[in-house]
């Protein structure tokens, strides 16, 4: 009798565990989102790239302009990018349909504009050997020529006005793969190794802390070495 009762108790404990695990999985279950991307004339746009939280996905629209993607419930923004039409984005709140129509006046948008001006992350493809960062001889050249808010004066980097009244320094905070370095060390980084560069200024720098962050923050992500 005791053995029988133990079996019954174990059975109900097993059922309880399964229900708990199932509930946890439900919270993390991805949401299936579909949509269509069209131009001003209601024509479908083929090959539009879908971005989630400013990061490129492997999802593109088919010849009918349709796409399907599975999103994490915590996703905040979804966007569609077509070079000849530009970029459209919208806030995401767990909707199951997200469509985009490029209105009259939409302008072409290059990959460089996406990455440099708008801080979108393009995922490198093995077959894509066009790394535009490598066209420059140094990181300083990239910063000065591609970022309107950045100036390079006698080898020093100045972002915006560039002088923090608290420490009378114009040096920004420089992070390479989350490691802090100084301006001189940038010369040891090959532009061929650069995956992404982002410049942060204004109130957004507060999350990085430190006096130098008030002068702006340069965030460099390098390609992972295989």
What CATH number has the domain bearing residue 70?
2.60.40.1120
Which of 7 and 101 is assigned the larger pLDDT? 101
Note whether residue 22 is domain-resident: no
CB 116 within 8 A of CB 147: yes
Distance between CA atoms of 93 and 159, rounded to whole angstroms? 35
Could you tell me the residue range of the domain that residue 40 belongs to?
31-117
pLDDT band at 43 (very low <50, low <70, confident <90, very high): very high
- Give the model confidence (pLDDT) of 100-115 as tens digits: 999 876 778 877 778 7
Note whether residue 3 is domain-resident: no
| Same domain? 110 vs 137 | no
Q: pTM of the entire structure?
A: 0.48
Distance between CA atoms of 142 and 133, rounded to whole angstroms? 7
- Give the model confidence (pLDDT) of 28-41 as tens digits: 588 999 999 999 88
Per-residue pLDDT at 190 exceeds 60: yes
The stretch 167-174 carries a mean pLDDT of 77
| Same domain? 76 vs 155 | no
| Same domain? 44 vs 93 | yes
Note the pLDDT of residue 179.
92
Which of 164 and 112 is assigned the larger pLDDT? 112
Note whether residue 7 is domain-resident: no
Q: How many domains does the chain have?
A: 2
| Same domain? 160 vs 78 | no
Identify the CATH number of the domain in which residue 154 sits.
2.170.130.10
| Cβ count near 14 (within 10 Å) | 10
The stretch 13-25 carries a mean pLDDT of 48
Note the pLDDT of residue 24.
45
């Amino acid at each position: 009798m005791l053995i029988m009762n133990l079996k019954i108790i174990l059975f109900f404990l097993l059922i309880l565990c399964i229900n708990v695990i199932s509930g946890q999985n439900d919270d993390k279950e991805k949401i299936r989102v579909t949509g269509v991307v069209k131009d001003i004339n209601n024509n479908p746009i083929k090959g539009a790239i879908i971005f989630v939280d400013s990061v490129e996905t492997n999802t593109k629209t088919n010849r009918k302009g349709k796409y399907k993607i599975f999103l994490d419930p915590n996703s905040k923004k979804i966007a569609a990018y077509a070079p000849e039409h530009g970029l459209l984005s919208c806030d995401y709140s767990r909707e199951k349909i997200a469509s985009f129509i490029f209105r009259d006046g939409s302008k072409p948008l290059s990959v460089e504009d996406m990455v440099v001006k708008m801080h979108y992350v393009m995922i490198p493809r093995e077959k894509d050997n066009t790394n535009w960062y490598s066209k420059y001889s140094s990181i300083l050249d990239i910063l000065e020529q591609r970022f309107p808010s950045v100036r390079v004066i006698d080898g020093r980097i100045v972002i915006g006005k560039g002088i923090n009244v608290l420490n009378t320094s114009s040096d920004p905070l420089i992070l390479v793969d989350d490691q802090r370095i100084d301006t001189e060390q940038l010369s040891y980084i090959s532009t061929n190794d650069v995956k992404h560069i982002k410049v942060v200024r204004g109130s957004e720098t507060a999350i990085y802390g430190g006096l130098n962050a008030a002068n702006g923050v340069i965030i460099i992500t390098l390609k992972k070495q295989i």
